[in-house]
Structure 1
Amino acid sequence: MGLLDDVNAQLDKTIKQPMSITRKQGSSTSVPEAVDLGYSEGKIVSATYLYTDMLNSSGLAAAVDSEAAAQTFRAFLNVSTKIIRYLDGHIRSFDGDRVMGIFTGMDKEDRAVKSAMHIKWAVDSIVTPALHREVPALQNVGWTLEQASGIATGETLLARAGFRGNDDMISIGAAPNLAAKLSDVRNDGVEAKYMTRIGAGTYKNLSESHKLSKGVNMWEGEYSLGMGGKNFPYYRSNYHWTFV
């Protein structure tokens, strides 16, 4: 079979063949893996997406050797993953210096926000000092690990794409796209100090303990972010959350 026949065969499978779509039980905290879905199956989930992103990774790669850069990437991604999983989030994607966590079930917004604030605290208080001790080249060039997180909530269609052995799960909906965009806001000045940004839907569903700290609202907003020809309201915070 030639390439043209191969491509047409795949189009027949992906376009002409209708998808079988089911809805995930809302109370469950589980998230399917790609292998749990058939190639013509999809699952609708109500989920909160967290993207956490290492800032200025291109500057890191240019400033130090590849081993030092790899140690820094691994430290950030491994610690972020550990925190997300500890709070019953599911890792379904890595994209270079960014990790995506999916939270479902009860209090999914609280757990996603707490994860982001835990990551901010861990990066500032644990990971960065450890890196400066073990990878002195970072201090020598004046590079400091920083991160930003974006969070959004909404109904999302999960589907499987690719071929056996070369496939992945894709998330289709506004929530994952908005979370990714919020993690990627890179304004100078005042905006630069806010490391956690959440969509209005996430903010609305937060418990008081995740909105307030000692009676003070941890969140500022609303602000507006353009995406796909629409404006999405969001809130921002520079608070962290310690482990104890």
Structure 2
Amino acid sequence: MSESFIPASEFETASNAVSNILGQPVEEIKITDILPPLNDIADSNKVFKGKLSVLFVDMRKSTDLTDELKSKKMVKVYRSFIRIVIQAIRYSGGYTRQFAGDGIMGIFQNSNVDGQNISSSCKAIKAARYIHTLIDFCLNPALKKSMDICIGCGVGICTGTIMITKVGMRGKESNKTAENETGIVWVGSTTNYANRYCSLAHPCEIFIDENTYSEIEDSEIWTKTSRTKGNKVFEGYAVSEHYLSLPEEITAEAVKADTENDSEASFIQNIFAETQEKALLLVDEISKKSAELAIALEEAKKREGQAIARDNESRKENIRLQQWQNKLNSKQADVDRQEQKNKEQAYSIHKSIFSETFCKSDLIKEFGKDHWLEFIGKMYELGKEIGKSQLEVKIDLDCYLIGIYRCFGMYEEAYEILCVQAEHSSWLNQYILEDVVKQSGHWFKLKGILEKRVYEGKDYRECLDKLKSMGY
């Protein structure tokens, strides 16, 4: 195992495998009324393709539970949860096909039972209701009694076309006893969207896409909604506590997990969603006006050609074309002004998010360091579009940026912005100045700026005295 190179034989094995895969055509096999068993799927470029409904379910805050409970207790929780989910999927006419920690994927397809067509969407919805019913009426009462805990889960469902293929590597050629390392890949956006919808669903909630919604009967109980994940808005339909009925002899009462609800976080999420929707509307509006201008320009060219062919009408036609051009120029100027206004509005909306979260350390930390760094980068991009330099953006956001960087211990960055604020703003917080200087270990540049501002007659004498009292 000490060699620092790949042997020629192993490189040749990989090269032959890739050439074999790329050289074979992809053969599609339509999925009929039976989903192919995993062992029947060959290790080749043959794929099974068909319309399926994909269900994803995962346990909420399982990491927190693992921290609270001993490992042996969590084994019981995981096994009970997964056992219930598999039963719900199987008894609803589906197949369990993937496990990832506490996440489970179920697959459903259309079927015909006694002459009655049953859609994959209806099966998946029933399975989701089955899962929530057993969690709250069966599993949670038992967990509450034995461990004094409750669990919750979210379910996401998407319906669409999926291709199924086998991937991996069979046992090592030189050792026939080696394990076959193969698996199944579900190719298509439907699987990815089902997973995203699951992560966006609240505890005891089912979140579905438009295709699934179009095939269900009790559509009036579902609420159309949109959820934001990263920079993307996902639209769909949601319903909460949509349980299946239980027999009269079963007297169990529902025991529910605490609902994850952070009003301030929800407020910020709404702002993100609103900003995204406004951006999409702006894009649509600009595209529509560009198309209108293109049509108008085409018409003008056509009229210009006709004017050249007509000697007697040429002067009148040229005058008319000039009038068209003036109108087009005027419309283009209006579009340019509106586009600039829209960009400035987008910048202002994004800036308001910083002001809404100012001095709210818990809320800032809730969204995480990566989120804020990405959002700060977005502000630089929006600023550039309206003619602002990075320095001007930093001046606009100085106190907000310092607060965010301090929340995540980024004192080098906080010191840089503190210098910007000292040079261009009209106020400084002495407590924040002291904290940033102590934590970053930097003071020279800031002291020079303060001395210059005091010399120019700006009221920074107290901040300069504070810095000197610290020994700098």
Please give the range of the TM-score, normalised by the shorter of the 2 chains: 0.7 to 0.9
CA distance in 2, matches of 1:64, 1:224: 32
Read off the aligned partner of 1:218 and give its amino acid letter: I
For 1:189, the equivalent position in structure 2 comes to: none
**1:14 equivalenced with 2:27 (yes/no):** no
Choose the corresponding residue for 1:236, options 238, 242, 245.
Answer: 238
More strand by share: 1
CA distance in 2, matches of 1:91, 1:243: 23
5+ residue gaps, structure 2, are 1-7, 111-117, 171-179, 247-472
CA distance in 2, matches of 1:32, 1:163: 20
> 4+ residue stretches of structure 1 with deviation over 6 A?
none
How many percent identity over aligned positions? 23
Choose the corresponding residue for 1:131, options 128, 137, 143.
Answer: 143
CA distance in 1, matches of 2:150, 2:204: 16
For 2:67, the equivalent position in structure 1 comes to: 62
TM-superposed deviation, 1:93:
0.6
- Report matched runs for 1:86-97 at 5 Å: 86-97=91-102
CA distance in 1, matches of 2:207, 2:132: 12
**1:201 equivalenced with 2:211 (yes/no):** yes
SS at match of 2:200: coil
What is the alpha-carbon root mean square deviation over aligned residues? 2.1
Give per-residue Cα distances to partners, 1:28-69, cap 9 Å, x unaligned.
1x2123321112210101000000111111111111111111
SS at match of 2:12: helix
TM-superposed deviation, 1:14:
2.5
SS at match of 2:237: strand
For 1:154, the equivalent position in structure 2 comes to: 160
TM-superposed deviation, 1:231:
5.5
The higher-RCO structure (CA 8 Å, 6+ apart) is: 1
Please give the TM-score of this superposition, normalised by the length of structure 2. Answer: 0.45
SS at match of 1:77: helix
Distance 1:57 1:226, change over 3 A: closer
- Answer yes or no: is the 8 Å Cα contact 1:52–1:183 preserved in 2: yes
Distance 1:115 1:169, change over 3 A: same
CA distance in 2, matches of 1:38, 1:223: 40
**1:218 equivalenced with 2:233 (yes/no):** no
CA distance in 1, matches of 2:95, 2:241: 23
Read off the aligned partner of 1:34 and give its amino acid letter: L
- Answer yes or no: is the 8 Å Cα contact 1:194–1:236 preserved in 2: no
SS at match of 1:13: helix
- Answer yes or no: is the 8 Å Cα contact 2:226–2:233 preserved in 1: no
For 1:121, the equivalent position in structure 2 comes to: 133
CA distance in 1, matches of 2:21, 2:238: 39
Please give the TM-score of this superposition, normalised by the length of structure 1. Answer: 0.84
Distance 1:14 1:243, change over 3 A: farther
Read off the aligned partner of 1:205 and give its amino acid letter: E
For 2:35, the equivalent position in structure 1 comes to: 31
Read off the aligned partner of 2:243 and give its amino acid letter: W
Read off the aligned partner of 1:68 and give its amino acid letter: K
CA distance in 1, matches of 2:131, 2:80: 12
SS at match of 1:91: strand
TM-superposed deviation, 1:222:
4.2
Task: Determine which structure has more spread, i.e. the larger CA radius of gyration.
Answer: 2
More helix by share: 2
Distance 1:226 1:58, change over 3 A: closer
Q: How many residues align structurally?
A: 222
Read off the aligned partner of 1:15 and give its amino acid letter: L
Give per-residue Cα distances to partners, 1:75-109, cap 9 Å, x unaligned.
11110100100011011111110111100013210
- Answer yes or no: is the 8 Å Cα contact 1:161–1:168 preserved in 2: yes
- Report matched runs for 1:63-82 at 5 Å: 63-82=68-87
Give per-residue Cα distances to partners, 1:94-149, cap 9 Å, x unaligned.
11101111000132101101111111121111101112233x2xx2xxx4210000
